[in-house]
Structure 1
Amino acid sequence: MNFHAGAMLMCLAVVAAASLDEINQPKELHMHKSGSRPLYQRETGKATRRGAQPDVTFQVSLRSDTSWGNGVVLKFDDVKLNIGGAYNNHSGIFTAPVTGTYQFWANVMVNENTNMAVEIKGQKLLGRGYCYNLHRVASITTAALLNKGDHVWITKVAGRAVTSVRGNSYSSYGGTLLKQH
């Protein structure tokens, strides 16, 4: 393959990975000829133009096993990603920085022989997961329309009064802005 054919393939890969909104907006590509750097590099995606959608994404997990009571917000202490700073690891609460459609997911592993129901909550119930038995996982994936300033969190609603939840990144929670409204 000659250089121009390789360059065309790289350009197509960038377009295929972009969202529909990004495809319709011009992006600046930089070509590099040196050893370990990629042939093409796409802009970082930071919202710099007026009206551009901000990046809002978080992914958190539990470092160690923890006891979790019914009605208590689960505070994930290992912040893997917090673009936009909308997740507060001290309170365990996500605050929507803009009005839009968001997607949330959670996987919470029980660390004892019991049942457990967990919910992703905000102004209303957004999603529910359930598990029963040792090392089972309550899993939730949901989407929600949130207003700027709305809060979202995970709470346990059933099972023993206090349940041991598995850490070591077996229990995790995340969310992302899909579309700003």
Structure 2
Amino acid sequence: MKGLICILLLLGFSVFSIQQQEDGGLGENEVSEQLSSEDGKQKLASTDSQQNCHLCFPDIHAALRGLTAMITEQKANNQALELRLRDAEKAAEQQMFLLEELNKKNDALSNLTQSQVEELRKDNRDKEIAFSAALMQSSSGNIGPFTTDITLTYRNIFTNIGNAYNPITGIFTAPLKGAYMFHISLYGPASQSIPSTIGIIKNGQLVVMAHAHQAQNVVNSSKGVALLLEVGDVVYVRLFANRRISDNQNNHNTFSGYLLFPSRG
């Protein structure tokens, strides 16, 4: 900065000298003296300018280093902003895609006729299958032992959505092809010689068994299983020969099942 000021002063003096010569206000001796004086001033100014310029160089380098650091920092900030902008654009695109999908579904639903809506409702109702029942409705007592296996009839109905369970026969008949979950609980009097054993049967074949046997107090057990059933497959509970269970108003022995999900095809 100081060197620049020196250069401007020299230029100003040169302009002033030329203007004086044009005006004719100086004689030959005066011009000679003035030139000698100005030569000294120029040498002094040149010396001062060089010294000042040498003094300016460290400041200029420091300023350049600071400017370079600022530019580098700004580039890093710009890159970070670009990344955030890209992320925001991606998020906006995803939201737009989801919105378009929702609009398509809403348009499809709005275009359904009343008969189609009723058909969808009926189809959903057909898929609502669940039941749960206990052995005895009001009485209490033992069941068994018998000399042969028997099918237990759970008559105290808690739930029978879809009416796939028959409380008269004790048999569940699958109305839809799909995966079903079944659960049984067992309770009986303790006996040294008579155990308590029941099992879940699918189409005449034993799937899982609940068994308990001890000499004192009472016995209990439970089992559950998920089965893939075709339309018309039957599931029920069997009390095995020479076995005994009991029940009362507390509904210890239960049989439950429900549709997990229908299968296609």
Q: CA deviation at 1:108?
A: 1.5
Tell me what 1:99 maps to.
Answer: 177
CA contact (8 A) 1:126 1:144 kept: no
CA contact (8 A) 2:190 2:219 kept: no
> Which whole-Å CA distance do the structure 2 matches of 1:125 and 1:164 have between them?
19
Largest Rg, 1 or 2:
2
Greater helix fraction, Structure 1 or Structure 2: 2
> Which whole-Å CA distance do the structure 1 matches of 2:219 and 2:243 have between them?
16
> Which whole-Å CA distance do the structure 2 matches of 1:176 and 1:106 have between them?
13
Tell me what 2:237 maps to.
Answer: 154
Whether 1:177 aligns to 2:259 is yes
Aligned counterpart in structure 1 of residue 141 of structure 2, from 37, 61, 65:
65
Q: How many residues align?
A: 135
Tell me what 1:130 maps to.
Answer: 211
* Bigger shift: residues 123-132 or 84-93: 123-132
CA contact (8 A) 1:53 1:180 kept: no
TM-score, normalization by structure 1: 0.66
Describe the SS at the equivalent of 1:136: strand
Q: CA deviation at 1:72?
A: 0.2
CA contact (8 A) 1:107 1:170 kept: yes
Task: Extract unaligned runs of 5+ from structure 1.
Answer: 1-24, 27-46
CA contact (8 A) 2:196 2:245 kept: no
Whether 1:119 aligns to 2:195 is no
| Percent of aligned pairs with the same amino acid | 24
CA contact (8 A) 2:197 2:239 kept: yes
Greater strand fraction, Structure 1 or Structure 2: 1
Q: What is the letter of the counterpart of residue 175 of structure 1? A: G
CA contact (8 A) 2:180 2:260 kept: yes
Q: What is the letter of the counterpart of residue 130 of structure 1? A: H
Structure number with higher relative contact order (C-alpha < 8 Å, ≥ 6 residues apart): 1
> Which whole-Å CA distance do the structure 2 matches of 1:131 and 1:95 have between them?
28
